[in-house]
Amino acid sequence: MIDPITLAVMRGALRQIADEMDLHLIHAAISPIISEMHDCAHGVFDARTGETIAQGGFGLPMFLANMQYTVQNLLETVKAEGGFQPGDIWIVNDPYLSGSHLQDVTMIAPHFVDGELFALLANTGHWMDIGGSAPGGWAPQAQEIHQEGIIIPPLRLFEDGKRNESLVKMFLANVRLPDQIGGDIAAMTQVFHVGRRGLDDLVARYGAATVRECIDEMMLRSERQMRDHIEQIPDGTYHCTDYFDNDGIVDKPLTVKLALTVDGSEMHFDFTGTAPAAAGPLNMAETTTRSLSFVALKHLFPEVPVNGGTFRPTRFTVPQGCILAAQYPSPVCGYTDVINRIIDVVFGALSQAVPDITPAAPFGTTGVTTVAGRREDGRYYVGVFPYPGGYGGSKASDGLVNGTLPSSLAGFMSVEMAEHRYPLRFEHLSIREDSSGAGTHRGGCGTRYSITALADCLVSVLGDRVDHAPFGVAGGGDALPNRVRFHTGGQEWTPEMRSKAEKVTLTAGDSVHLASPGGGGFGDPLDREPDAVERDLDLGFISCRTAEEVYGVVIASETPVADRKRYRLDQEATARRRAERRGEKTPSDTGFR
């Protein structure tokens, strides 16, 4: 029987190992998408089942379960080739096996204790380029996987501790940024020393048998904890349907349909009715669909530790060949937007069952903008800028303003770093006024930014949420939709697919302008505290027009303060206006003052 203190120490120690691996790679990586934007993840996995034991907290949530599935998919391949051996490191990016897209490269290394396979260590790191038709790998017009880059099947990158240099040369010959990718390969492989050292210290302190016993107990407790949460949700089937604007090739909406059934302590996610495989790149593997469903649950039940036990009370029905269960050769680079819609429909379904803890839809689009070109010495550069945007409001609070994606957490590169690395100038990066969905608790605001080219370059944009804005719940309003505009040759224009454009040529002085959605609102806007509306005005989150027409307040005065204004509301007039809007009797009607 494991005592609670030992179990708590063990849980913290295993999480610390994964955290240290995260930080080691973030500090050692060459590419800014890892070093600045933290597009990576690390974990410790059960060598018997492939289940997650612990995962780092500095990487991306969308790898929450995805690496577990990658490890499990790899087990059979490795077994057929003689099993894991000391000194091995395996590498894979095949999206139909490892989920996500080709840029996300996963490495897996065994760890042995006294000659016995004890655990598996794994990491995922985003490579800034993977070959393919579009620099950076985001190709909105791709119609098959081979247009997106090189596919790496499960291969031994290291054998008996020696790196396969021929394999590395092949990788570097097929990417536009060989120096960066070469540095990231070295950093990703070196990080396993950190994991091995941590596990060895833990085994030396407690013994292998105790560590294994604690791992099994941790998983059982996480499963029990998740089941307890699910049991608190009323039994029933809850439905939510949402859409993508288009797939980048065919200008028709794509349906994502979820029927979520709660039965006691189990939950069934049924995506029957979801659109079949898209012609363009808005497809993703079933493993990622599962992983993002867990990310949504983690937002509702944040105290449940992440390990394989957390995932056990769930079942999935995902029709093979639909956009949520991609099969070869469907393109997948737009999965960065598909992941967001999974969170949206899970929130939409559960908001009917447990509205007290479920927020409205977050901004729901990665909106990746890729800027690429060649420097004077002929070398390529690739800059990647994913959207920040607003989170949905909830019963507890307003939504987060200018947040990273709930599915991703990949940050926006600092303006100073971007302008230092690339021949670009940011004209502005600011909060987008009126972008949040109105509500008793409003959604968070999105952002707006503009990039001017200082030299010839190619710009690709891959986003969504123009035609179908993030939704509000419980009477809350929808957020403002996405917006993408180009200014080239003295003309301003919007892409044919609204938020998707591939390799648009910018010359010096041309620009691209982007504005991300906010989050949906929660509850009736007329129930929002007037003081909160006044604060939103002062912060520039909403306009006077929205305050008056949507929130029903009466502005008494405006006072200029430096570069913005400070507002004061007429509380009595506001109460009368709101009562009139609701069809209620006003204080003057009743004779009371």
- What are 266-320's pLDDT values in tens digits? 999 999 999 999 999 999 999 999 999 999 999 999 999 999 999 999 999 999 9
pLDDT value of residue 410: 74
Q: pLDDT at residue 206 above 90? A: yes
Mean pLDDT over 202-221 rounds to 97
Question: Poorest-confidence range of 98-102, 119-123, 321-325, 502-506?
Answer: 98-102
Could you give the percent of the chain with pLDDT greater than 90? 93
Mark whether 413 and 541 lie in a shared domain: no
The answer to whether position 203 is within a domain reads yes
* Residue 254 covered by a domain: no
Position 62 confidence tier, pLDDT thresholds 50, 70, 90 = confident
Instruction: Give CA torsion, residues 14, 15, 17, 21, to 10 deg.
Output: 150
User: Which residue, 329, 267, 365, 345, is CA-closest to 142?
Assistant: 329
Please tell me the distance from the alpha carbon of residue 512 to that of residue 426, in angstroms, as a whole number: 10
Q: Are residues 514 and 558 in the same domain?
A: no
Residue 560 — very low, low, confident or very high, per pLDDT cuts 50/70/90? confident
Sign of the Cα pseudo-torsion (270, 276, 282, 283, in order): positive
CA–CA separation, 539 and 117 (whole Å): 56
Whether 586 has a pLDDT exceeding 60, the answer reads no
Alpha-carbon distance of 240 to 516, in angstroms, equals 23
Mean pLDDT of the residues in the chain: 95
Distance between CA 97 and CA 124 in Å, rounded?
13
Direct distance between the N- and C-terminal alpha carbons of the chain, in angstroms, rounded to an integer:
69
Enter the tokens of residue 514. Answer: 């982007």
pLDDT band at 585 (very low <50, low <70, confident <90, very high): low
Closest CA to 488 of 447, 516, 449, 453: 453
Average pLDDT on 210-219 reads: 97
Band of residue 565 on the pLDDT scale cut at 50, 70, 90: confident
Q: How many Cβ atoms sit within 10 Å of the Cβ of residue 10?
A: 22
> Quick check: is 245 in a domain?
no
Tell me the C-alpha distance between 24 and 40, whole Å. 11
| Same domain, yes or no: 87 and 181 | yes
The tokens describing 252, both together, are 């028709």
Structural domain contains residue 201? yes
Mean pLDDT of the 113-132 span: 97
Rounded to whole angstroms, the Cα distance separating 591 from 115 reads: 88
The residue out of 474, 502, 524 marking a domain boundary is 524
Bridge partner list, 441: 522
Domain boundary at 184, 199, 223, which? 223
Number of domains composing the chain:
3
| Strand ranges in 31-175 using DSSP code E only, listed in sequence order | 40-46, 52-55, 89-92, 104-113, 116-126, 155-159, 162-163
pLDDT category of residue 588 using cuts at 50, 70 and 90 = very low
Considering the chain, what percentage of its residues have pLDDT values greater than 70? 98
Domain that holds residue 11: 4-223
- What is the pTM (predicted TM-score) of this model? 0.95
Q: Are residues 542 and 474 in the same domain?
A: no
Closest CA to 342 of 407, 285, 390: 407
Banded model confidence at residue 250, pLDDT cuts 50, 70, 90:
very high
Is the domain of 520 the same as that of 534?
no
Residue in this structure with the two tokens 């890892």, named with its chain if needed: 34
* Cβ–Cβ under 8 Å, residues 105 and 124: yes
Looking at the fold, whether 477 and 546 belong to one and the same domain comes out as no
Q: How confident is the model at residue 587 (pLDDT cuts 50, 70, 90)?
A: very low
Instruction: Identify the burial level of 395 via C-beta atoms within 10 angstroms of its C-beta, where 0-12 means exposed, 13-18 middle and 19 or more buried.
Output: middle
266 in any annotated domain:
no
Which of 223, 238, 263 is where one domain is finished?
223
At 589 the pLDDT is 44
Distance CA 20, CA 25 (A): 9
Do 103 and 200 lie in a common domain? yes
The pLDDT of residue 104: 97
- Give the residue ranges of DSSP H helices in 106-207: 165-173, 178-206
Of the candidates 128, 131, 153, 152, the residue with the CA atom closest to the CA atom of residue 142: 131
* DSSP states of 217-250: HHHHHHHHHHHHHHHTSPSEEEEEEEEES--SSS
pLDDT of residue 591: 35
pLDDT value at position 41?
95
Of 420, 2, 336, 421, whose CA–CA distance to 138 is shortest?
336
* Cβ-count burial 270-287 (b if 16+ within 10 Å, e if not): bbeebbebbbbbbbbbbb
CA–CA separation, 512 vs 452, rounded Å?
7
pLDDT of residue 409: 67
Q: Is residue 202 part of a domain?
A: yes
- Tokens encoding 366: 């990665």
Q: Determine contact, residues 342/287, Cβ cutoff 8 Å.
A: no
105-119, 407-421, 462-476: which has the minimum mean pLDDT?
407-421
Q: Residue 592: is its pLDDT beyond 70?
A: no
Residue 593 pLDDT class (50, 70, 90 cuts): very low
Q: Would you say 66 and 137 are in contact if contact means Cβ atoms under 8 Å apart?
A: no
Q: Is residue 303 one of the residues assigned to a domain?
A: no
Rounded to whole angstroms, the Cα distance separating 387 from 448 reads 9
Same domain flag for 502 and 553? no
Based on the domain organization, do 518 and 396 belong to the same domain?
A: yes
Q: Do 203 and 113 touch, CB atoms closer than 8 A? A: yes
Distance from C-alpha of 506 to C-alpha of 371, rounded to nearest angstrom: 10
- The answer to whether residue 231 sits within a structural domain is no
Residue with tokens 């490892």: 98
558 shares its domain with 492: no
Shared domain check, 552 and 484 = no
Burial level of 147, CB count in 10 A (0-12/13-18/19+)?
Answer: middle
Whether residues 470 and 536 share a domain: the answer is no
Residue 43, beta-bridge partner list: 55, 122
CA–CA separation, 204 vs 188, rounded Å? 25
